[in-house]
């Protein structure tokens, strides 16, 4: 797993069938990358709902949330609409798990992203990272602490 101080690898993934999003699109903003195993799972649903509700706090730190899993763009669209999410979910679908692998958070045994969080600063460097047990929602406290620290630095 990539650690604090590492340069975040740039990537470009589909957010919708005809819209691709890259990490470089957010240069000048702090970025919260939330890798998660699968849309529709109970823990993932709760985690994404929490980040949706916490967006107003993240925005105070000029931070954008991005969810990433190996689910398809169509699965993401249905999940996002059903949960009324207001941040992009990106499909690390084909080649499967390529971005998760670049960040060191792909689980080869099950073929999914691990539950991992990264806060990336405005220059594209990893300011904080956390690997959570798959069955546990990591919450938002660590993210908020990392964003507060970025403001102090």
pLDDT tens digits, 16-68: 999 999 999 999 999 999 999 999 999 999 999 999 999 999 999 999 999 99
Q: In CATH, what number does 12-152 get? A: 3.40.30.10
* Percent above pLDDT 90 for the chain: 99
CB contact set of 5 (below 8 Å; sequence gap of 6+): 125, 126
pLDDT of 79: 98
Q: Which residue has the tokens 């069955």?
A: 135
pLDDT mean over 56-82: 97
Of 13, 15, 44, 90, which one is the catalytic site residue?
Answer: 44
Q: Which helix (H) or strand (E) holds 66?
A: strand 63-69
Domains in the chain: boundaries: 12-152
Question: Model confidence at 153, in pLDDT bands (50, 70, 90)?
Answer: confident
Close Cβ partners of 101 (under 8 Å, ≥ 6 residues apart): none
Asked if 75 is an active-site residue, the reply is no
- Average pLDDT value for residue range 107-134: 97
């Amino acid at each position: 797993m990539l650690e604090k101080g590492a340069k975040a690898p740039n990537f470009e993934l589909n957010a919708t069938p005809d819209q691709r999003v890259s990490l470089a699109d957010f240069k000048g903003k702090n970025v919260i990358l939330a890798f998660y195993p699968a849309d529709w799972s109970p823990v993932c649903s709760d985690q994404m709902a929490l980040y949706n509700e916490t967006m107003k706090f993240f925005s105070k730190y000029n931070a954008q949330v991005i969810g990433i899993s190996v689910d398809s763009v169509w699965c993401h669209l249905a999940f996002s609409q059903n949960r009324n999410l207001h941040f992009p979910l990106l499909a690390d679908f084909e080649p499967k798990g390529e971005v998760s692998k670049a960040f060191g958070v792909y689980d080869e045994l099950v073929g999914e992203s691990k539950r991992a969080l990264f806060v990336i600063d405005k220059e594209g460097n990893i300011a904080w990272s956390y690997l959570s047990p798959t069955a546990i929602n990591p919450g938002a406290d660590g993210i908020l602490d990392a964003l507060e620290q970025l403001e102090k630095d």
